[in-house]
Amino acid sequence: MRWWTLPGLEPSSQAAWPVVVIGDGPPLLLLHGFDSSFLEFLRLAPLLAADHTLVIPDLHGFGFTPRPAGATYGPDRVLAHLEALLAVLPNALALPSTPDGSRSPLAVIGASMGGAVALDLARRCPERIHRLLLLDPAGLDGQARPLPPLLAALGVRFLSLPRVRRGLTHTAFADPKGRVGPAEHEIASLHLRAPGWADSLAKFASSGGFAGRGAPLPSLPITVLWGERDRVLGPAARRAAEALFGEALVSVPDCGHLPHLDQPKLVSDHWRQVHAPAPRLTPTPQP
């Protein structure tokens, strides 16, 4: 993990923001889901790091990010944080410039809420994002429904209960008996100890969160992997995703809401088969 300052990100431009950087090769940004952290990519990262430089931030207000006094939370702050991160990324990773002087484009994998975030980021920064893989993306349809502060606070208190965290973790996997153990429970709950977790999550809920972020799709290659046993989003969300993405949506058998945890090798293989950059052709010497 590295801690980067992101100039211009209010209310505290001097705060240090957590971002994991691992691997070697073309940059690939990984975006986690709601009430989670970079740790949810624990199984996928080793499979991609052999030929990618993975950049895995905690999203604004989530994971182990700083939560300074007076901060606001919601989709706009999540995207502002990522835009600030993209601004420092070329120098932080020493990315090469393209022949026209611009920076090399970035690929993105977004999981659950991170899928909606990835779509928004691609629309806002079309010159920086060149391809997307979405894993059971949430927040594609519907309208934002801001919760009253009291109701949001009660909801966060409910989410903090150990038995609730365990139940949610089991629901996210296709085979919880075989694939959920102490490590998975810790990944799902460790960030709850971060200072300000309850306040930031309640304020995010009061903002309405990410909803209706599917259309219009950005003009770039997109594929979607969807677990056939997703019990978190359900059939209605699946139908909305099918209507939006069509044949770009691929069903993943024996998989729940988290393909990168349930089927990490399948996700990494799919990425290399579908999203691998085109090979550079070496001109044939002329006689």
What string of pLDDT tens digits covers the 287 residues of the chain? 999 999 888 766 678 999 999 999 999 999 999 999 999 999 999 999 999 999 999 999 999 999 987 889 999 999 999 999 999 998 888 876 655 555 668 999 999 999 999 999 999 999 999 999 999 999 999 999 999 999 999 999 999 999 999 999 999 999 999 999 999 999 999 999 999 999 999 999 999 999 999 999 999 999 999 999 999 999 999 999 999 999 999 999 999 999 999 999 999 999 999 876 544 333 444 43
Predicted confidence at residue 285, as pLDDT, reads: 45
From the number of C-beta atoms within 10 Å of its C-beta (0-12, 13-18, 19+), residue 211 rates as middle
CATH number for the domain that contains residue 171: 3.40.50.1820
Asked whether 271 and 191 are in contact (CB, 8 A), the reply is no
In Å, what is the CA distance from 105 to each residue of 6, 97, 122? Answer: 20, 10, 11
* 224 strand-pairing partners: 134, 249
Q: Is residue 126 part of a domain?
A: yes
Confirm whether 283 is domain-assigned.
Answer: no
CA distance 14 to 60: 15
Domain assignment of residue 228, yes or no: yes
Write down the pLDDT at residue 282: 38
Is 282 part of any domain? Answer: no
* pLDDT in the model for residue 8: 80
CA distances from 60 to 9, 52, 68, 184 (A): 11, 24, 11, 22
286 occurs within a structural domain: no
144, 137, 18, 190: CA torsion to nearest 10: 90
Q: Helix 162-172 and helix 182-189: axis angle, to 10°?
A: 110
Distance CA(226)–CA(260), nearest Å, equals: 11
pLDDT at 9: 82
Q: How many domains does the chain have?
A: 1
Signed CA dihedral, 255, 257, 263, 268: sign only? positive
Distance CA 54, CA 18 (A): 14
Q: Which amino acid is at 153?
A: A
- Domain that residue 90 falls in: 2-275
Strand partners, 134: 110, 224
Would residue 221 count as lying in a domain?
yes
In this prediction the pTM is 0.93
Q: Is residue 262 part of a domain?
A: yes
Spatial separation of the C-alpha atoms in residues 260 and 269, rounded to whole Å: 11
